[in-house]
Amino acid sequence: MKETNPDRVFIFDTTLRDGEQSPGFHLDANSKLRIARQLEKLGVDVIEAGFPISSPGDFEACRRIAREIRGATVTALARAKREDIDAVWGAIRDAQTPQIHIVLSVSDVHIDRKLGMTREQVLKRGAEMVEYARFLCDNVEYSPEDAGRADPDYLIETVETMIAAGANVINIPDTTGYCLPYEFGELVRRVINEARGCEKALFSVHCHNDLGLAVANTLAALAAGARRVECTINGIGERAGNTSLEEVVMLLRVRQAKLGLECGIDTTEITRTSRLVSELTGTPVQPNKAVVGANAFAHASGIHQDGVLKDRLNYEIMKPEDVGLADSKIVLTARSGRHAFHHRLSRLGITLTDGKDDVAWQRFLQLADTKKEVTDEDLRKIAAMSETNGHEGNGHPPVTDQLHDHNHVADAMRHLIFG
């Protein structure tokens, strides 16, 4: 499973496992299959379908995905227990390319306080379970959980032991999102450079976003030699979430000349995938979310709108079409300028007659001060009233005489403008 192209980054999507573990989330088998089909269209290399031992429903969902998906490796998670591994193999064995994923703690915090074991006992159990899994399946991934807080020397010993036992993918997780980018990059570099047998394995990373560093830590790990990224759509996952697939993928694309790395994702499917996951999990994407948020390609400031309308490169480092959107969005607000105002009128096919431009602009400014966004329907009304009534021709008293109550500002403004 060791990749021969040193510039190729593999995308491992764990939306259906770690992402679905988010508090309040639940995906039934049909929903998981719908997302898996879309992930296949997106072009991910690996789909982690779930945690089969956790419930009959998750077992069945994993089995359905394994039997249908043919464009990606299908994996599922097992603790370092024979019954977990049997459940994974029973669920994914019909996949075109199955993989068993085993997780066992490596930090002293986990070994002492979670497992109640010694380091030697953990190594022994891990090696035994990797050997057992490898007997069943050609592809075995081993994740030393909480590697970000582990003793580096013991982590290296663990990696060496699991590769010798048959693991051909080693995942280095920053399970708690604790590491700083330079720390995590150095840890991954040490493991890859110092662990005996590392040439036999593909190195992956799995970062959490507790301190907002998941993508930064992932990038540091790629710079250190990791070539597989475990991530989720919309960055969903335990606690503050996981590395965001769309952010890493577009980072690799936008800065490809600098990073020299590439992946096989069809980026035009990103928005469609994001919206499907949001719909099926019932969790909206925050508006300012990078790449897929509603505001990611939206411009409200007059200065920005003018610059984007002159040339999108002024403020956009990636094209909306690249992620599956039709165009940028010019949002008309009180901060918008005339350029954006006329651009939207033009898009609506509205041409103002001579002398009516200033009238319409003033009406727009009055309305924009009363609401978050001026809509296309608002613009049609402004244009129509400006053509028929002139600047003040609606017969209403000045707006300041009407505003006796702050709560009636918006209504009074709209009444003044539209009659």
- Write phi, then psi, for 248 (nearest 5 degrees): -65, -45
pLDDT number for residue 242: 97
- Is the separation of the CB atoms in 276 and 34 below 8 Å? yes
Query: Distances from the Cα of 27 to the Cαs of 21, 24, 208, 279, 284, in angstroms?
Result: 10, 10, 21, 11, 15
Q: What is the pTM of this model?
A: 0.84
Please list the pLDDT of the chain residue by residue as tens digits (419 residues).
Answer: 555 688 999 999 999 999 998 877 889 999 999 999 999 999 999 999 999 999 999 999 999 999 999 999 999 999 999 999 999 999 999 999 999 999 999 999 999 999 999 999 999 999 999 999 999 999 999 999 999 999 999 999 999 999 999 999 999 999 999 999 999 999 999 999 999 999 999 999 999 999 999 999 999 999 999 999 999 999 999 999 999 999 999 999 999 999 999 999 999 999 999 999 999 999 999 989 999 988 787 777 667 776 767 877 776 789 889 999 877 776 777 788 788 777 777 777 888 877 678 888 888 888 888 888 888 788 888 888 887 765 444 444 333 333 334 334 445 444 444 44
- Write phi, then psi, for 143 (nearest 5 degrees): -115, 110
CA distance 338 to 351: 14
The angle, 0 to 180 degrees and rounded to 10, between the axes of the packed helices 82-92 and 119-136 is 30
- Say whether 230 sits in a helix, a strand or coil: strand
Q: What is the pLDDT of residues 366-402, one digit of tens each?
A: 888 888 888 878 888 888 888 776 544 444 433 333 3
Q: E strands, 80-193, where? A: 98-105, 140-145, 169-174
Q: What domains appear along the chain, each with residue ranges and CATH number?
A: 10-281 (3.20.20.70), 298-418 (no CATH)
Q: Which residues pair with 107 in a beta bridge?
A: none
How many alpha carbons fall within 13 Å on the CB side of residue 365?
Answer: 9
CA distance 166 to 168: 6
- Say whether 344 sits in a helix, a strand or coil: helix
